[in-house]
C-alpha cells in the first residue's frame, strides 16, 4: 500500500487565476493505477480558459490533459502494467455508453468536462497534479526514453492521428498544412512519417525557422502569396488536401483556393475565439466535389497509434517544447508563458524524477 495520502494540483478558480490546492488522494480501486506525474504540458484549451476566452468547462477547473509520469502502484486486478512503467493518459471514458461501445470514447456521454465534477466539487482530470489515481483503461505505456514533456504529446498527437484517418490521406499525396504552431507542426510531422508530401505555410519568423530546421517545405507568407506558391510547387495542380491548423477566416478561405480542381479535401483542425468564418459558395463544393471535414479530440485507438509514433521516434516532438520548465508552485508563470504568441508547448514539472 502506498504511503501517499494527498495530491497537490493546479486549479483554475476563475479567469486569470490559478492556484495550487490539496485534497486527499482518491482510493486506489482494483482496476486503477497510481501515477507519479513527471510533467504536464499546457494545451490551448487550458490557457484559453485562463484568459477567459472559452470558459465553457466551468470552475474550479483542475485541468491538464497532456500529462505523463511513472507508475507507483497498480490495482489488484490490473494486468499488463508494472511499477516503474512510463505512461501517459488516453481520454477519459466510461466504456459502457453507446459512444464508447462504438469506439468513440472521445465523445463518451459520461465524461463531459463541463458536467463532470468530483465529490468535492472540481471539474477536470487533474493533469497538473503531483500524484493521480487513474482507471487502467485510460493509461497508455510510452517509451522510458521519452524526456519529460515529450510524453505529454500522446494526447495532441492522438488528435492528429484521428484527423489523418478521417481524411484518408495516402502516401504520395501532397498536403498543405496552414500554420506551423504546435498543432500544425505535429500534423506536418505525422503526415511526413506516413510518406506524404507536406508543404507548410506560416508568417511568424520563429515558426518559419523551426519548420525549416525540421526539414519541411515552408511557404513564408510574408514573402509570397501562399495560394500562388502552392500552385507553383504543385505544377499548377493544387494540393490533394489542406489541413487548416489555425482558427482563422482567411486561412479557411485560402484552403479552397489551394486545392486541386476536383476531389480536394479540407480538414478544419483548429477552433478559435472569437469564432472564425468559412466563406465558400455551395456551388463550388458541388461542382468541384470538395469534401470538408472537422475533427476534435481522439478515441482510445488513436492514443495507441500516437504512442507508436512517439515511441519509435517516427515523430519527434523535441522542437515543439519550450526549453524552460516551471514547477507546480510556479504554475501561474507557466500559464503566462503559454499565452505568449509564437510559443510552443510550455511544460509544468510536477516531480523531479
If the CB atoms of residues 100 and 134 are measured against Zn ion, the closer one turns out to be: 100
How many CA atoms does the CB half-sphere of 35 hold within 13 Å?
31
Shortest distance (Å) from residue 90 CB to Zn ion: 13
Exactly one of 33, 108, 180, 317 binds Zn ion (CB under 5 A); that residue is: 108
User: Which range of residues in 39-47, 75-83, 116-124, 134-142 is near Zn ion by CB under 5 A?
Assistant: 39-47
Closest-CA residue to 130 (of 85, 69, 42): 69
Distance CA 328, CA 334 (A): 9
If the CB atoms of residues 72 and 94 are measured against Zn ion, the closer one turns out to be: 94
Shortest distance (Å) from residue 25 CB to Zn ion: 24
User: Which range of residues in 24-32, 87-95, 180-188, 288-296 is near Zn ion by CB under 5 A?
Assistant: 87-95
User: Interface with Zn ion includes 301 (CB under 5 A)?
Assistant: no
Bond from prior residue into 274 cis (ω within 30 degrees of 0): yes
Shortest distance (Å) from residue 124 CB to Zn ion: 12
If the CB atoms of residues 96 and 263 are measured against Zn ion, the closer one turns out to be: 96
Shortest distance (Å) from residue 116 CB to Zn ion: 12
Shortest distance (Å) from residue 288 CB to Zn ion: 33
Shortest distance (Å) from residue 291 CB to Zn ion: 26
If the CB atoms of residues 18 and 199 are measured against Zn ion, the closer one turns out to be: 18
- CB 15, CB 52: distance < 8 Å: yes
Shortest distance (Å) from residue 343 CB to Zn ion: 15
If the CB atoms of residues 51 and 94 are measured against Zn ion, the closer one turns out to be: 94
- CB 202, CB 211: distance < 8 Å: yes
- CB 7, CB 132: distance < 8 Å: yes
User: Interface with Zn ion includes 43 (CB under 5 A)?
Assistant: yes
If the CB atoms of residues 229 and 299 are measured against Zn ion, the closer one turns out to be: 299
Exactly one of 97, 193, 250, 285 binds Zn ion (CB under 5 A); that residue is: 97
If the CB atoms of residues 154 and 200 are measured against Zn ion, the closer one turns out to be: 154
Q: In the numeric block, which cell numbers belong to residue 184?
A: 500544425
SS3 for 286? helix
User: Interface with Zn ion includes 100 (CB under 5 A)?
Assistant: yes
Q: Which of residues 151-180 bind Zn ion (CB under 5 A)?
A: none
User: Which range of residues in 90-98, 130-138, 191-199, 330-338 is near Zn ion by CB under 5 A?
Assistant: 90-98
Bond from prior residue into 124 cis (ω within 30 degrees of 0): no
- CB 267, CB 242: distance < 8 Å: yes
4 exposed, middle or buried (CB, 10 Å; 0-12, 13-18, 19+)?
Answer: middle
User: Interface with Zn ion includes 219 (CB under 5 A)?
Assistant: no
Exactly one of 53, 94, 113, 193 binds Zn ion (CB under 5 A); that residue is: 94
Shortest distance (Å) from residue 320 CB to Zn ion: 13
Cβ neighbours around 108 below 10 Å, total:
20
Shortest distance (Å) from residue 147 CB to Zn ion: 19
Query: Can you spell out the DSSP letters for 142-209?
Result: --TTSPTTTGGGHHHHHHHHHHHHHHT--TT-EEEEE--SHHHHHHHHHHHHTT-EEEEEE--HHHHH
If the CB atoms of residues 94 and 193 are measured against Zn ion, the closer one turns out to be: 94
Distance CA 247, CA 28 (A): 41
Closest-CA residue to 97 (of 297, 294, 296, 299): 299
Residues forming contacts to Zn ion in the complex (CB under 5 A) are 43, 93-94, 97, 100, 108
Amino acid at each position: 500500500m502506498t504511503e501517499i495520502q494527498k495530491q497537490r494540483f493546479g486549479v483554475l478558480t476563475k479567469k486569470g487565476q490559478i492556484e495550487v490546492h490539496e485534497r486527499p488522494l482518491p482510493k486506489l480501486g482494483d482496476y486503477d493505477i497510481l501515477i507519479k506525474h513527471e510533467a504536464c504540458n499546457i494545451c490551448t484549451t487550458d490557457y484559453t480558459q485562463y484568459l477567459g476566452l472559452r470558459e465553457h468547462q466551468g470552475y474550479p477547473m483542475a485541468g491538464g490533459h497532456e500529462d505523463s509520469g511513472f507508475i507507483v502502484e497498480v490495482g489488484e486486478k490490473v494486468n499488463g502494467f508494472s511499477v516503474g512503467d512510463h505512461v501517459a493518459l488516453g481520454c477519459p471514458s466510461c466504456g459502457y455508453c453507446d459512444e464508447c461501445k462504438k469506439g468513440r470514447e472521445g465523445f463518451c456521454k459520461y465524461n463531459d468536462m463541463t458536467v463532470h465534477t468530483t465529490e468535492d466539487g472540481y471539474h477536470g482530470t487533474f493533469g497538473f497534479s503531483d500524484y493521480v489515481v487513474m482507471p487502467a483503461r485510460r493509461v497508455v505505456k510510452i517509451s522510458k526514453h521519452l524526456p519529460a514533456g515529450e510524453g505529454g504529446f500522446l494526447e495532441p498527437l492522438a488528435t492528429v492521428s484521428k484527423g489523418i484517418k478521417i481524411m484518408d490521406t495516402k502516401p504520395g499525396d501532397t498536403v498543405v498544412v496552414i500554420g506551423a504552431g504546435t498543432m500544425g507542426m505535429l500534423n506536418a510531422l505525422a503526415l511526413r512519417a506516413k510518406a506524404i508530401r507536406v508543404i507548410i505555410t506560416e508568417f511568424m519568423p520563429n515558426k518559419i525557422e523551426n519548420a525549416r530546421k525540421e526539414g519541411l517545405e515552408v511557404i513564408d507568407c510574408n514573402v509570397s502569396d501562399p495560394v500562388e506558391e502552392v500552385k507553383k510547387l504543385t505544377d499548377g495542380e493544387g494540393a490533394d488536401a489542406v489541413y487548416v491548423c489555425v482558427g482563422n477566416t482567411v486561412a479557411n478561405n485560402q484552403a479552397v483556393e489551394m486545392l486541386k480542381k476536383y476531389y480536394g479535401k479540407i480538414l478544419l483542425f483548429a477552433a478559435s475565439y472569437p469564432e472564425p468564418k468559412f466563406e465558400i459558395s455551395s456551388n463550388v463544393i458541388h461542382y468541384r466535389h470538395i469534401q470538408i471535414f472537422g475533427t476534435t479530440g481522439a478515441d482510445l485507438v488513436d492514443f495507441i497509434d500516437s504512442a507508436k509514433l512517439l515511441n519509435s521516434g517516427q515523430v519527434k516532438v523535441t522542437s515543439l517544447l519550450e526549453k524552460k520548465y516551471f514547477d507546480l508552485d510556479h504554475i501561474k508563470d507557466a500559464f503566462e508563458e503559454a499565452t505568449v504568441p509564437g510559443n510552443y508547448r510550455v511544460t509544468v514539472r510536477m516531480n523531479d524524477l
